[in-house]
Amino acid sequence: MLEERSRGVGGGQWSPSSNPAYFCRFHLTLLQVSGERVERTKLECGHGVPDPGGGLRSWRLGPQEAEARERQKLDEEKRRRLERFNSSRTNLENLADLEKLVQRRKEKRLKRRVPPKAPQPEVKPQPQAQLEPVGLEVFLKAAAENQEALIDKYLADGGDPNAHDKLHRTALHWACLKGHCELVNKLLEAGAAVDTRDLLDRTPVFWACRRGHLDILKQLLNWGAQVNARDKIWSTPLHVAVRTGHCDCLDHLIACGARIDAQDKEGDTALHEAVRHGRYRAMKLLLLYGAGLGVHNAASVTPVQLARDWQRGIQEALQAHVRHTRTRC
């Protein structure tokens, strides 16, 4: 197109100076083309590498320059933080500034403090209801159930601690049977007889051995209870301890002087009772303390013979069961 214009309409030689207006338009066109090349070069070049297309060269930041600029940004950020910190600090130039600071901190502490709870009204103790007079039946029941308030009321009103029911069972009997150790001590201090007997002539020691309360047994013996007391069938606490299988009470009775070969009305010793009731541990304990193997009871049977008879009886019962026609093997 430029060549056609340079030739002219008439085919002669043309020059830009011959037409000033066209020369201005041509110059502006060149400037626009050069500007587009420069912008395209800036967009396409990167990482500090010059435009391979030649012409105007444009450089991006290299690694060192980028690191330097990043370091500069961090320094600026640190400087701004330091300025903010310094501006937030209180400048104590005189005593008034110090007083204001102390007052401000007091106000902050008061805001954070939990408000005290409202004082609760004092609860006045209610006067205890006056207990009615305690009768004998209530007193004995209270001893079995360990109701100390009723016991204290009965004793405070002058009640007899040795009072008993129709079977001559006292409060001490019930306390020893149920295992109320503190109540036993209270009754003994109030004057209860330690060897009081029920209708079968059994003392509280019998009742303690019947349930195996070793602590109460020790307490009664410390108060002077008889270790070899006998009931109506001449049994001793040693017999009762063997029958019920309380070997700890048995051991303590022997250590306190109980007669190991004492016999009841049927002539049975404690060893007879151990064999008859199958108390293997009690039998070993009695043999360890020297119980006699040749003592005969009223039926002239020794403990060894009693064991043989017991085994023979078991053997006969088993054989009879095997011979039975309805037995299924």
Of residues 240 and 129, the one with the higher pLDDT is: 240
Residue-range domain boundaries for the chain: 2-44, 136-304
Of residues 82 and 314, the one with the higher pLDDT is: 82
pLDDT-derived band at 28 (thresholds 50, 70, 90) equals low
pLDDT digits (tens, 9 = 90+) for 181-204: 999 999 999 999 999 999 999 999
Does the pTM exceed 0.85? Answer: no
Indicate the Cα dihedral angle 255, 261, 264, 269, nearest 10°: 100
Per the CB < 8 A criterion, the answer to whether 263 and 234 are in contact is: yes
pLDDT digits (tens, 9 = 90+) for 119-148: 777 766 655 555 688 889 999 999 999 999
CA-based nearest residue to 55, from 25, 35, 26, 32: 35
Of residues 310 and 142, the one with the higher pLDDT is: 142
Contacts 24+ apart (CB under 8 A), 254-261: 254/285, 254/289, 256/221, 256/227, 257/227, 257/228, 258/227, 258/228, 259/228, 260/286, 260/289, 260/290, 260/291, 261/291, 261/292, 261/295
pLDDT digits (tens, 9 = 90+) for 268-278: 999 999 999 98
Average pLDDT (248-273) is: 94
Tell me 114's DSSP state: P
pLDDT, residue 3, reads 47
pLDDT, residue 47, reads 43
Look up the CATH architecture of domain 136-304: Alpha Horseshoe (1.25)
Average pLDDT (94-116) is: 75
Bridge partners, 170 (sequence order): 164
Average pLDDT (249-260) is: 95
pLDDT, residue 283, reads 92
pLDDT, residue 132, reads 80
Average pLDDT (21-32) is: 54
CB-based contacts of 155, cutoff 8 Å, min separation 6: 161, 190
